[in-house]
Amino acid sequence: MADVSNGDAFVEFERVQKSYDGENLVVKDLNLSMPKGEFLTMLGPSGSGKTTCLMMLAGFETATHGDIRLGGTSINNIPPHKRGIGMVFQNYALFPHMTIAENLSFPLEVRKMGKSDREAKVMRALDMVEMGAFGGRRPAQLSGGQQQRIALARALVFEPELVLMDEPLGALDKQLREKMQFEITHLAHRLGITVVYVTHDQTEALTMSDRVAVFDDGRIQQLAPPDKLYEEPQNSFVAQFIGENNTLEGVVKEISNGVALVQLDDGGLIDAKPINVSKAGERTRVSIRPERVEYNKDRMPEGAHTLKAEVLEFIYMGDIFRTRLRVAGKDDFFVKTRNAPDQVRLKPGQEIEIGWLAEDCRALDA
């Protein structure tokens, strides 16, 4: 568990627990600390507790135990409307009976702001999301992407320091989603706001965030920047959940010089970097990314252990090739190779040998 707790933490969860029924904990012992200006994404499968965390932060759910702090003060007993946190909802929750301008004006009105100030701010917020011409329309007259921008503008118009986003792009099609991912991150960085973003889409999490908290079973499994998360998963859940991944199961034979020798269940031997294993005899699950697997003898590191593999399928995907192999008795082992002029194109039925750098192969918990 990463502990970033320090003096300038802006949002803090300390030993937070949440139970709805008094029997099961939905959130188990959550500790999290984020500095001002960070874009943090809570990523996890549904039911992992990420949305509950967001709702506790927003004030719509109360923590069963523990402390949530904002800017150093506990907000456990502060009602949502006094927290000053902007929020973008999954279905945007734009008020259908108000025009776009009225929607944006609403948070300013409840803050008793003067009319001219309000109009100026609304206009600025609309311009910010390039929707300046739409102030007089109703939400129903806008497309999904446009509504998304308005929801964003509404959450930002009263200049909150913290903005929460609950799967805000879930309802958009792929292309629009990618465009909006960029816009949201740019906007967040430009305005210097702190963002907590909830999603179950790992690509979104990786492309947008400064740090990602991977949730499962009510706990943060790993909290790290995207590259670390991808390249150095701390346990097999994270390794499985983030990106594509090949796993092989076996027993640690020995650990020496920071390299573990793992005997697979079919007897084959491989080198791996020990992460969650500490001594010989432990069961482990080794994880290797498809693009780090090598079958070109010339490129294989010297002295590396290799495994025999049979090519089952070769898939041409334009920029890359995907090859499905049978390795160690499992036939769902993938290899990804870049489409380059000198790249070998494998044929089904072909017998090859595969290998990798020991540090690319991580021996994790079984």
Partner 1 sequence: MSDTTQSGPVLAADGTPLKRSLARALRMQKIRALMLVAPLLLFVLITFILPIGDMLFRSVENQIVSDTLPRTVVALREWDANSGEAPDEAVYAALAEDLKIAAAAKLHTRVGSRLNYEKPGISSMFRKAGRKVKKWDVENGGPFKEQFIAIHEGWGDPDAWRTIQTYSPNFTNGYFLNAADLQKGAEGAEWRPEDEQIYWVLFKRTMFMSMVITISCIILAYPVAWILANLPARSANMLMILVLLPFWTSLLVRTSAWKVMLQQQGVINETLVWLGLVADESRLVMINNQFGTIVAMTHILLPFMILPMYSVMQTIQPTYLRAAKSLGATNWTAFWRVYFPQSVPGIGAGSILVFILSIGYYITPELVGGTKGVFISNRIAFHISSSLNWGLAAALGAILLAVVLVLYWAYDKIVGIDNVKLG
Tell me which residues touch partner 1 (CB under 8 A): 58-60, 79-82, 84-87, 89-91, 93, 95-97, 106-107, 110-111, 154-155, 158, 164
Please give the structure tokens belonging to residue 107. Answer: 């948070």
Least Å from the CB of residue 112 to partner 1? 10
Closest CB to partner 1 among residues 87, 275:
87
- For partner 1, the closer CB: 75 or 155: 155
State how far the alpha carbon of 111 is from the alpha carbons of 106, 114, 124, 253, 338, in Å: 9, 9, 18, 66, 56
Count the Cβ atoms, other than its own, within 10 Å of residue 114: 9
Cα atoms in the 13 Å half-sphere on the side-chain side of 36:
9
Quote the least distance from Cβ 263 to partner 1, whole Å. Answer: 53
Query: At closest approach, how far in Å is the CB of 163 from partner 1?
Result: 10
Residue whose CB is less far from partner 1, 95 or 182: 95
For Cα atoms 296, 358, 352, give the angle at the middle one, nearest 5 degrees: 30
CB 56 within 8 A of CB 18: yes
SS3 15: strand
Nearest distance from C-beta of residue 55 to partner 1, angstroms: 9
Nearer to partner 1, 71 or 84 (CB): 84
CA distance 327 to 287: 13
Sheet of 27-35, strands arranged across = 27-35, 9-18, 65-70, 73-74
Q: What is the nearest approach in angstroms of partner 1 to the Cβ of residue 107?
A: 4
At a CB cut-off of 8 Å and minimum separation 6, what does 317 contact?
none
Closest CB to partner 1 among residues 57, 293: 57
CB of 75 to partner 1, least distance (A): 13
Q: What string of DSSP letters covers 58-124?
A: HTSS--SEEEEEETTEE-TTS-GGGT-EEEE-TT----TTS-HHHHHHHHHHTTT--HHHHHHHHHH
Alpha-helical runs (H) found in 158-302: 174-191, 202-208, 226-231, 236-241
Q: What single-letter amino acid sits at 231?
A: E
Which of 236, 210, 207 has the alpha carbon at shortest distance from 223?
210
In this complex, which beta carbon is closest to partner 1, that of residue 59 or of residue 145?
A: 59
Q: Which is nearer to partner 1, 146 or 246 (CB)?
A: 146
Smallest gap, in angstroms, from Cβ of residue 224 to partner 1?
29
> What distances in angstroms separate CA 103 from CA 49, 139, 153, one per listed residue?
30, 9, 10
Least separation in angstroms between residue 126's CB and partner 1 is 16
Which one, 97 or 190, has the nearer CB to partner 1? 97
88 or 172: whose CB is closer to partner 1?
A: 88
CB of 264 to partner 1, least distance (A): 50
- Give kind and range of the element (H or E) at residue 314: strand 307-316
